[in-house]
Structure 1
Amino acid sequence: MSSYIWLVTGASSGQGTEIALAALRAGHRVIGTARDVDRARRTCTEMEQLGGKWIKLDVTDDNTQSVVAEAVTQYGINVIVNNAGYGLRGVLEDLSMHQVRAQMETNFFGALAVTKGAIPTFRFQRNGIIVMISSASGFSGTPSQSMYSASKFALEGASESLAAELEPFGIRVLVVELGAYRTPFQTAVEKPEQAISEAYKGTAADEAARRITAGHGRQAGDPVKAAHAIVEVVTGTGRGAELKDVFRLPLGKDAVSRASVKMTSFSEDVERCKSLAEWACFEEDYEGYPPL
């Protein structure tokens, strides 16, 4: 694409703000979404100073798909960044089903609604890029954040299928797996003493929650650098020149480390189970099935 026009959801704070500003500073046009546009204008004044625009959007609203479809047509958007989301802390036993469903509604179904709004125009024009902001926890589950991990695992699973579905139409899907970044993200998550019940004190979930909380403000991840990395990988410029065809983009030393540990563990399980797995089939060879 010769020009990039971005729609960034949840652009009023944290990593979303940095992605929007990085794209603007790179010379692109950006439409940022926020649930409260007036508040977004006050807290992120650079957005409009650099030429960006705001539109009102809550990704959990029933009209999300139509709002995005209209914006894509009106502004000529060809890059969607599904950034809106939040973290939920607590073990499954302690969480209500309302909390579980709300987490999935924002982080997973919200991203799908935004994506569905963009696909028809992207398919018609035979180009477009869909960026899913995931997490290291979307590839390697985190105790004390099981439902947050679930929402990101679901997003990554859908994205793998979407990438294959949309590739014939020239549409690219990019999954960004962020490690621990120095944004306000963790300040919105309940502290361990509030979220971890007595029965789980001293367990892996409690220890993980306390470690994450204690590390807030000292995370190794630089959100400004992450934003620049995302812009460069999307546009195939700078450090992203050789990465225009990657599907997963882990960002942060911890994201790389966690992915490596997960892949090693998974490979070991596959090798250990291979004989049993291959035994559990009919003797006949059904050529071409299942589809690979």
Structure 2
Amino acid sequence: MTQYTWLVTGASSGQGAEIALAALRAGHGVIATARNVSKAKEALPKIEELGGIWITLDVTSPDAQAITEKAVKDHGVNVLVNNAGYGLRGVLEDLSMPQIRAQMETNFFGALAVTKGAIPTFRERCSGTIVMISSASAFTGTPSQSLYSASKFALEGASESLAEELKPFGIRILMVELGAYRTPFQSAVDKPADILSEPYKGTTSDMTAQRITAGHNRQAGDPVKAAQAIIEVVTGTGRGKDLRDVLRLPLGKDAVQRAYVKIQSLTEDVARTKELAEWAVFDEPYDGYPPL
């Protein structure tokens, strides 16, 4: 039977904490990471009580890759969960470039740095699973959260490529697209002053932002069940016994709905533009390059 040791980034609260706790309760080892370990230990004593180990890790720090690589080697980690992240609120026009870069630094570049730290050891062992905690906002862009959506779209693009890059080494990529879950995530997101500037009041962006705010603590998603679903899909047990080969795991009824909306929109656009798309090529016979 495979022994699992999980390294979970951003485990000090919310979905990351629930994943760490679910893994521990299932009998797995857990390396929980946080930027401030002393505060994390105080907020979540159960992690250590169940046998988990805390390490300090800020995914945006220059040494994030090295810290991860050492932790993976020292603790026999074979499941990495890239959970650390936050959601930047506001329309593009209102956001400063430092805010934009900070969002991508945490949600995208930070995840890549940690992933790069895990890959060498996973590759040498010819095994391992890398879980990317993504979002339904990677299916369809969310007005008033354009940069959060961008960070998750970017993460999924990299993850699709990584899945093929790492498959020869027995390493699996699993993208988890969370819908709206009842965690502190939404209340903790960075909010520009008044969320939106005056020209955007009353627009779709404004209505979406207000709906998100009003829905806090009323989301349908259960983070405990989401964590359990992730454990089962990674380990191929319970409800996940036939899902060991899936690339995407949408969680929440709203996530499933948004996935179908994206599929329908993409299908319709391709069907409508197919003739024009296929016209815009050289007249010589197509030789199949680049390979599909």
The alpha carbon displacement at 1:286 in A equals 3.3
Q: What is aligned with 1:28?
A: 28
CA offsets 1:227-274 (integer angstroms, 9 cap, x no match): 000000000000000111000000000000011011101100000000
Task: Look up the equivalent residue of 1:27 and give its one-letter code.
Answer: G
SS at match of 2:132: strand
RMSD: 1.0
The alpha carbon displacement at 1:190 in A equals 5.0
SS at match of 1:194: coil
Q: What is aligned with 2:263?
A: 263
Q: What is aligned with 1:223?
A: 223
Q: What is aligned with 2:211?
A: 211
CA contact (8 A) 2:59 2:113 kept: yes
Q: What is aligned with 1:171?
A: 171
- Note the 1:37-186 alignment, pairs <5 A: 37-186=37-186
Task: Look up the equivalent residue of 1:25 and give its one-letter code.
Answer: R
The alpha carbon displacement at 1:189 in A equals 2.4
The alpha carbon displacement at 1:285 in A equals 2.1
CA distance in 2, matches of 1:256, 1:85: 22
Q: What is aligned with 2:245?
A: 245
CA offsets 1:118-177 (integer angstroms, 9 cap, x no match): 000100100000000000001111000000000000000000000000000000000000
1:287 equivalenced with 2:287 (yes/no): yes
CA offsets 1:56-111 (integer angstroms, 9 cap, x no match): 00000000110000000000100000000001000000000000000000000000
The alignment's TM-score, normalised by the length of structure 1, stands at 0.98
Structure 1: unaligned runs, 5 residues or longer: none
CA contact (8 A) 2:90 2:191 kept: no
CA contact (8 A) 1:192 1:209 kept: no
The alpha carbon displacement at 1:192 in A equals 8.2
Percent identity over the alignment is 73
TM-aligned CA distance change 1:193 to 1:202, over 3 Å: farther
CA contact (8 A) 2:88 2:191 kept: no
SS at match of 2:144: coil
CA distance in 2, matches of 1:77, 1:86: 25
The alpha carbon displacement at 1:289 in A equals 0.4
The alpha carbon displacement at 1:191 in A equals 5.7
Structure 2: unaligned runs, 5 residues or longer: none
CA contact (8 A) 1:166 1:172 kept: yes
Task: Look up the equivalent residue of 2:130 and give its one-letter code.
Answer: I
Task: Look up the equivalent residue of 2:71 and give its one-letter code.
Answer: A
CA contact (8 A) 1:8 1:20 kept: yes
- For these two proteins, the number of residue pairs brought into alignment is 292
CA distance in 1, matches of 2:73, 2:259: 37
CA distance in 2, matches of 1:220, 1:191: 23
The alignment's TM-score, normalised by the length of structure 2, stands at 0.98
